[in-house]
Structure formats: structure tokens, C-alpha cells
Structure 1
């Protein structure tokens, strides 16, 4: 094979690979779908809430110390976790799901929300002070979560801003306020409809899954991601859990 032919073959292969990766999710009828159920647990040392001193903008933010519990555990179950199937190309409906995050009394509300990739995040400043919303894409790097800025904008009062979110590598974002270090929140960005925000006790169910083999993952904004291989069979329930330490 000549160099030119080899080059053309390589370029065609790369183009096809890129198209495959960029292929949008396809909604199809799911018959005889299966379920995945389980529980996310925590067996490590339950750390106390992290304290932050409120040293500015007291009229809006309050005074004293604010404690944020980044790892919430109840009877061994870990909350604030999203469990999801990775790289599902087609299946049940995946309607738009934009998200609204309020900034009120110097809190991001809600603390954890879920939106769909390609939809909008609207940030509403309800306080009488300037906030600076800084969003980071969380990217799993080994056992740690790396972060990359998505957008970083000042938001004076009254103020509303809306941004379209399109994550390529990560599955979630961390929200911080550069003006107030005690403001924290997370947004999980779903790339297909096969996800579940766990219950307070860590339990979850994902339903209407086309039969097949998948990678099931769990995400926690502080503790990172875990994964497990699962096989879903028609009209049956597969059980798979995760444990963080």
C-alpha cells in the first residue's frame, strides 16, 4: 500500500471514529427492558462538616460560621450520588432538562441538581450583593477529580444569566462563588436518560434499559467516580452496588 493510500485510510478511520463518538442519543421504543438496582454505601471515616467563616457581605450572607457537609451518610448509605450507565446510544425518551440555580442568602440552591448535556443552566442572583459564579467541569483522573473551568462570570444584583452546557469529558460540574468561599454546589450533566439520583439511604433504581452489557458508574462531587460492569437481561433486575471509603 502506498503512503497516500495509507494516509487516506487512516483519515477515513479517524473520521468514522469521530462521527461515532459524536452520534447523538437516539430515542427508540424499549420492549422487555430490564432494571438495575442497588445501594451506594460509605464505609470510611465520616468526616464532620467543613466550617467556613463568613467575613463579608453580612447583611446578605449572615454572620458567624457556615458548615457544609460534603459527605452525607445515613445508616451506612451515601447520599448526593448519581448512578448512571455510560455511553448508551439509544433507548427510552431523553427530553430536555435545563436547570435553575438560585443564589439566595449566599447559598447555591439546590446543592445538587441534574441537567441534560446540551441544555441550559440559569443562575439567578436573589441577593443584594455581587456574586461571581465559577463553574468547573469535573474530570475523573485516576482516583482524583480534576477540574476545568466551564465559565466564570460576575453576577451583580439583580441578575440572571443563562449558559448552554456541553461537557465533553466530564459528567458533572462544581459551582463556586469566587467572592464567597462558603458557597458550593454541584450539577450532574446527564448524557443519556439512564441515571438515578440516589435516595437519602443510598438506594437507586434505573429502569427500561435495553438488554445488553454496560458500564455502570457512580458519581459523588467530593469522592469521585466508581464503575462496574453489568449485564441487563430482558424483564429482569440486576443488582449492583458501590462502596466509598
Structure 2
């Protein structure tokens, strides 16, 4: 009997994380608050990384390709998404944030960075007359320098479109690579709730219709160490949170 009770107890504990991963519930938010802030970069801006275009030159081009993983404009860091972590319910997702499409054209991923909704479709479009192999990784820690786990790995030997369902459990985003061309790179932020904002050209962000309460807030960048903080949102009020990446 003791062994049975122990086994049941362990099973119950193992089930707890599943309950915490319940799907986000969309509803109506009345008298919500707003979170605003600015994303800045401190220190020396990193130079773009240079890759040799080593194959399929008639389609991919010749020479080298530069990818600017850390884009800084006027001291403001681009390609950042600020989001609230582990929000279970609230406003609906934006109508334009659901499935995502990545074009592979001229041996480049376009767009380089975009946002999609968790548990939705990723459409990988090969527009080149050569083989591509799109490989997506869940970034467990958030940035590409940390641990990662394969989400999808699909060969596209000719111009076509392949679709896969993206289900993220831990990390906030994916790194996108081509196993056939090591100079192809991109990122997709995968939103688990609608309380996120992509930084604007002036470094600012804004998250609206936030139910009053206390939240964990994070700033994601695909190449740099992610930032985190806490914020309290008052009904109808505005809270300000700034992040500085280094």
C-alpha cells in the first residue's frame, strides 16, 4: 500500500507542470493598464558576422554575406520583443499574429525576425530552384548562444511550401537555420500570450490592455542575454519599464 501511495503521489507531482501549461484564455479586459518603456544598448556595438557563400553560387551569390545580429541605432537596440511571462488570460491575440511564413529566396530567410503565435503553423516557402533544409530550434534560454532543441527539420529539394505546427514549452523563441547553407539564419519569437510588443525604430515599446496586477516582464533578443524584471500595473494607469542590453 505504501508503494502504491508513493507512486500515485509521484504521478500527481509529475502532472502539475502540465496544468501550469494550460492554453491562454481570451476574454474582455476592462479598465486595463499600459506598460511602456525603452530598449537601449550599452557598450561597443558588435560588428556584423561574416559568412562565406560556399555553394550554389548561381542562386545564393558569391563572396561573403554579413548578418548583423545586434542592430543598434542611436543607442537603441532593434529586434527586441518585450513580453509578460506566464499570463493565463486577458485580451484576445492581435488578428495579424497567428501563423507565420518564412520565405527562402536568394538563400536568405525573409523576414529575418518575426512574431508568431504558439501552437500555430509555420509555413516555410522555398522560392529557390535548389535544395534547402529548414531547421528550427527552440531557444531554451532565449538567446542563440544558450541550449537549444530541435522543433522541426524539413528538407525542401525544390520550390515548394512545407507547413509544421510549432508547439513551444520552455523557450520564448526559435532560431531558424538551413542545414544545406550555413550562411542562412533567422529568428521567430513565439508568443504564448498577446501581451508582447516588438521594439519600434526609436527603441520604444508599448503593451496595452493589461489587467491590473503584478507581472514578470522580459525582454528577448535572439543573440544577447535576455533581460527580466517585475512590473505592477494599476487599473487605467501606465507603468514604465526600461531595459538595457550589453
Same fold judged by TM-score > 0.5?
yes
Is there any run of 5+ residues in structure 2 with no aligned partner, and where? none
Q: Distance in 1 between matches of 2:107 and 2:145?
A: 28
The secondary structure found in structure 2 opposite 1:100 is strand
Superposition misfits of 4+ residues, deviation over 4 angstroms: 141-144
1:231 and 1:143 mapped to 2: Cα distance?
Answer: 30
CA contact (8 A) 2:105 2:127 kept: yes
Distance (whole Å) between structure 1 residues aligned to residue 69 and residue 243 of structure 2 = 18
Contact 1:143 1:224 in 2 (8 A): no
- Alpha-carbon distance in 2 for matches of 1:141, 1:49: 20
1:43 aligns with 2:42: yes
Counterpart-to-counterpart distance in 2, 1:169 and 1:29? 27
Per-residue deviation, 1:201: 2.5
Residues 2-11 or 109-118, more deviating: 2-11
Could you say if the C-alpha distance between residues 12 and 149 of structure 1 is closer, same or farther in structure 2, counting changes exceeding 3 Å? closer
Task: Quote the RMSD (CA, aligned, Å).
Answer: 2.1
Superposition TM-score, scaled by structure 1 size? 0.93
TM-score of the pair, normalised by structure 2: 0.93
- Name the residue aligned to 2:218: 217
Structure 1 residue ranges without an equivalent (≥5): none
Q: CA deviation at 1:167?
A: 0.7
Partner SS for 2:6: helix
C-alpha separation in 1, matches of 2:244 and 2:198: 16
C-alpha distance in structure 2 between counterparts of 1:244 and 1:210, whole Å: 27
Structure 1 residues 140, 102: closer, same or farther in 2, change over 3 A?
A: same
Aligned residues: 244
Q: Mean alpha-carbon deviation: is it higher for 205-214 or for 17-26?
A: 17-26
Aligned residue in 1 for 2:19: 20
CA spacing shift, 1:74–1:14, aligned 2, 3 Å? same
Q: 1:197 to 1:11 in 2, by over 3 A?
A: same
Cα 1:237–1:95 change in 2 (3 A) is closer
